[in-house]
């Protein structure tokens, strides 16, 4: 007769792989769109809603979005930026390695002249670079901030 008993007891439940059912695989997570890009798009969307008459004013937007009227005003002020800056903000691939916050843009919004805004944005852009071993070579900031060519020029 044996003095002891030896058995293996599995502590984990066996995987439930049913025949014919593929294993669940996770898709690679999409890259996050920068916050400032999302806010710029939201400001444009809000302005379109006001233009179409879907909402009466910023107070209606604030009620719909469960935010304060002051926050709606902050977001809507992004539409006062020069068109070239708005375009740059809406290109998330180009902003990917740059740290441009809404706080930085509020300083730029104090400037009324689009040329002055562009110069301030360029300096903020350059000083806001995050460390990254490689920067996108496709970014040509000077061309992004050129004033639009009008037919009479």
Structure confidence by residue, pLDDT tens digits, 75-128: 999 999 999 999 999 986 655 556 688 988 999 999 999 999 999 998 887 776
28-63: pLDDT as tens digits: 777 788 899 999 999 999 999 999 999 999 999 999
pTM (2 d.p.): 0.64
SS3 54: coil
Domain that holds residue 41: 35-130
Residue 152 lies in a domain: no
Is residue 120, in this structure, part of any structural domain at all? Answer: yes
DSSP string for residues in 84-122: HHHHHHT-HHHHTTB---HHHHHHHHT--SHHHHHHHHH
Could you give the number of structural domains in the chain?
Answer: 1
Q: Which residue has the tokens 């061309």?
A: 143
Residue at 69 is within a domain: yes
Cα–Cα dist 25/18, whole Å: 15
Does residue 92 fall inside a structural domain?
Answer: yes
Q: Is residue 14 part of a domain?
A: no
């Amino acid at each position: 007769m044996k003095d002891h008993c030896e058995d293996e007891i599995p502590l984990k439940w066996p995987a439930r792989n049913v025949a014919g059912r593929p294993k669940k695989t996770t898709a690679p997570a999409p890259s996050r769109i920068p916050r400032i890009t999302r806010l710029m798009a939201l400001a444009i969307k809000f302005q379109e809603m006001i233009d179409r008459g879907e909402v009466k004013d910023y107070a209606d937007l604030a009620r719909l979005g469960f935010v304060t009227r002051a926050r709606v005003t902050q977001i809507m002020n992004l539409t006062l930026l020069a068109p070239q800056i708005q375009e740059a903000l809406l290109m998330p691939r180009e902003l990917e390695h740059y740290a441009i916050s809404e706080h930085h843009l509020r300083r730029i919004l104090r400037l009324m002249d689009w040329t002055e805004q562009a110069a301030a944005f360029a300096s903020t852009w350059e000083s806001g670079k995050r460390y990254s071993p490689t920067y996108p070579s496709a970014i040509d900031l000077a061309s992004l901030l050129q004033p639009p060519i009008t037919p009479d020029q």
